[in-house]
Structure 1
């Protein structure tokens, strides 16, 4: 079993900065969180924690937010078992149910069955919910799809279930890649799953690209996405707060993308764009 560090972050004001802090911590290896009244508890494997990376987390240095933290090493426990205990099914508009095998099925809804390991993207985060919401209205039949930052591959699986001809799922985290392979098998779909970033895209072209990541990575990688997106293709983005919209749209417009739909859930947004 892995040794973990528990960080107790106190955040003022709490919203929406608790969610934003979690998104930034995921990028440096934190893999599970508990929301508290005054902040969050965040967990990372001891052997991959880097004080330098934590020091470079941008939100910790904002003058309009007060964030303090303490941390200590946790005793060795079965973290996947603990994670499963706290995993509840996710209902998207009474149309899609994201659940684990130990939950009861619902024959009235479209189901995605995942093993709730500690990879981001189980569906509980509002941005994953927003992506599924947008995907419900999109045509995937016969399309080539790319899911960047796939996490548990919930989005990639849903795209394949909606009729996509071929789906590629990429994530920088080895844990997410392994979990994605298991979840694809669990749902009886075939995905092309690999570890990497936008730098590994090559020349393969796609009809639809899904990217639920975060503002900074999206701003950096949107040109790479556009370069492998077919003319008339769709780019669906989330991992963004409402105040990120102008910055993201400025980049998208410079790349010749046209905004087709924007949706918001709490302080989070998703953007559907067309090339």
Structure 2
């Protein structure tokens, strides 16, 4: 993958909140893979093979008169992107007991020390959805449980579940780069009982889990919920994120139709991470 070519977009956003989050969500839906936030700017990355001239013309957020956007783009090599995230990736601490850091950050004394090299993958803990999903996992008793992390990105959620005592864990992502990156991060954190797969919900056929974690986006969640429920053991827990506060009712209605019970949700800057029980 060292010869992968990406397009880098630099957006200047005014006002940044909540426009930057809305922008990132819409860019994700058209194929952008990773994002870096710098002051008033948002950097967004898409593989050149997935890019075409004028692909952002129909993006609704860019036509919203409440916000002002300016942007430009350029072609970059993969190694240049890695240098960018290294400059911007700061370690984070979740609930005072879980640290997410890169290999070049110094470790501190916390219960769960997770070392992640995200490269082009989503899931450093910085985004609100990943942060809240980490919080949910910290609050759950996962010891001895079977776990699925679908849309796993860097694998950080699967890794935390492993550190907290889950015994069998599958991590699945449709993106090849995420698949390779999650394998690296699983090995780096020495959680050798996490199986990493490249694919989608088709891989769930015939499998059962006590906990399913899905941090993707609203449309994919709505489409794939029946497959999640089919693979969820009786009494199992489903954690969903990647959507906004205003989408919670729609997600919960779909879950209720599938006989799941809403238990609670976390909110962070208009993003939601919800817990449902089978």
TM-score, L = length of structure 2: 0.89
- Structure 1 CA distance for aligned equivalents of residues 177 and 276 of structure 2: 30
Please tell me whether the aligned partners of residues 36 and 88 of structure 2 are also in contact (alpha carbons under 8 angstroms): no
> Is 1:161 matched with 2:163?
yes
RMSD: 2.3
Q: 1:168 to 1:61 in 2, by over 3 A?
A: same
Match for residue 74 of structure 1? 75
* Secondary structure of 2:210's aligned partner: strand
- Structure 2 CA distance for aligned equivalents of residues 37 and 164 of structure 1: 38
- Structure 2 CA distance for aligned equivalents of residues 75 and 192 of structure 1: 32
Cα displacement (A) at 1:63: 5.9
Q: How does 1:114-133 map to 2 (within 5 A)?
A: 114-133=116-135
Match of 1:250 among 241, 250, 253: 253
Cα displacement (A) at 1:70: 4.5
Please tell me whether the aligned partners of residues 11 and 69 of structure 2 are also in contact (alpha carbons under 8 angstroms): yes
Please tell me whether the aligned partners of residues 112 and 160 of structure 2 are also in contact (alpha carbons under 8 angstroms): no
Single out whichever of 89-98 and 107-116 deviates more from structure 2.
107-116
Deviations 1:56-108 (A, max 9, x none): 65x44876765756443235462212212211111101110011111111123
Q: 1:162 to 1:36 in 2, by over 3 A?
A: closer
- Structure 1 CA distance for aligned equivalents of residues 37 and 64 of structure 2: 23
Q: 1:110 to 1:8 in 2, by over 3 A?
A: closer
Q: 1:56 to 1:114 in 2, by over 3 A?
A: same
- Structure 1 CA distance for aligned equivalents of residues 15 and 232 of structure 2: 39
Deviations 1:164-189 (A, max 9, x none): 11000001111110010000111111
Cα displacement (A) at 1:245: 0.9
- Structure 2 CA distance for aligned equivalents of residues 148 and 65 of structure 1: 35
Cα displacement (A) at 1:268: 1.2
Cα displacement (A) at 1:266: 1.8
Q: 1:269 to 1:115 in 2, by over 3 A?
A: same
Q: How does 1:51-70 map to 2 (within 5 A)?
A: 54=56, 59-60=60-61, 70=71
Cα displacement (A) at 1:11: 5.2
Which ranges of structure 1 fall in alignment gaps of 5 or more residues? Answer: none
Match for residue 233 of structure 2? 230
Please tell me whether the aligned partners of residues 99 and 110 of structure 2 are also in contact (alpha carbons under 8 angstroms): no
Match of 2:207 among 191, 197, 204: 204
Cα displacement (A) at 1:265: 1.4
Match for residue 41 of structure 1? 43
Please tell me whether the aligned partners of residues 7 and 69 of structure 1 are also in contact (alpha carbons under 8 angstroms): no
- Structure 1 CA distance for aligned equivalents of residues 172 and 96 of structure 2: 28
Q: 1:67 to 1:253 in 2, by over 3 A?
A: farther
TM-score, L = length of structure 1: 0.90
Match for residue 143 of structure 2? 141
* Secondary structure of 2:104's aligned partner: coil
Cα displacement (A) at 1:53: 6.3
Please tell me whether the aligned partners of residues 3 and 73 of structure 1 are also in contact (alpha carbons under 8 angstroms): no
Match for residue 213 of structure 1? 216
Q: How does 1:88-99 map to 2 (within 5 A)?
A: 88-99=90-101
